[in-house]
Amino acid sequence: ARLYEDKHIVELGSRSGDGMACFSQRARKAVAVEYNPTYCAKLWELQAEQTRAGLGGFEVQCDDFRAVDLRQAEYITWWQQTPLTNEAVLGFLRHEYDAGRLS
C-alpha cells in the first residue's frame, strides 16, 4: 500500500473493485476503468460505500481503457484476463509512451 501512497493510480478492468478498494485508501487519486456495464454499476456502489465510510473515494470511468486519458497516472495496473492481457495492454502503453502521452 505504501507504494501507492499519495500517487495517482489507474486500474484498467477493475471488475468488482477489489483492487480499487485498497488503492483508493492510500492514493492521492484513484481511477477505476471498466467497460462492462454490470461491473461498472458495482464500482459505483463500491465507490459510494467507501466514500460514506471515509475510506477514500475513487473515480469510475465506464469506458474502454484505450479511450481514457492516462497522462497524469503515476501507476497503471490492470486485471490480467482476456482481453486485458499483458501483451495487449503493454503494447498500448508502449504506444502511448512513444507518442509522449505517458511519462
Q: Tell me, yes or no, whether 102 lies in a domain.
A: no
Question: Which of the 8 DSSP states describes residue 33?
Answer: E
Q: What percent of the chain has pLDDT over 70?
A: 97
Q: Are 60 and 47 in contact (CB under 8 A)?
A: yes
Residue 10 confidence (pLDDT) above 70: yes
Q: Tell me, yes or no, whether 103 lies in a domain.
A: no
Q: Tell me, yes or no, whether 79 lies in a domain.
A: yes
Domain count, the chain: 1
Q: Tell me, yes or no, whether 70 lies in a domain.
A: yes
The model's pTM is 0.90
Question: Which of the 8 DSSP states describes residue 34?
Answer: -
- Report which secondary-structure segment, H or E, holds 59: strand 59-61
Domain of 41? 2-97
- Cβ count within 10 A of residue 22: 17
Q: Are 1 and 25 in contact (CB under 8 A)?
A: yes
Which pLDDT does position 82 carry in this prediction?
Answer: 73
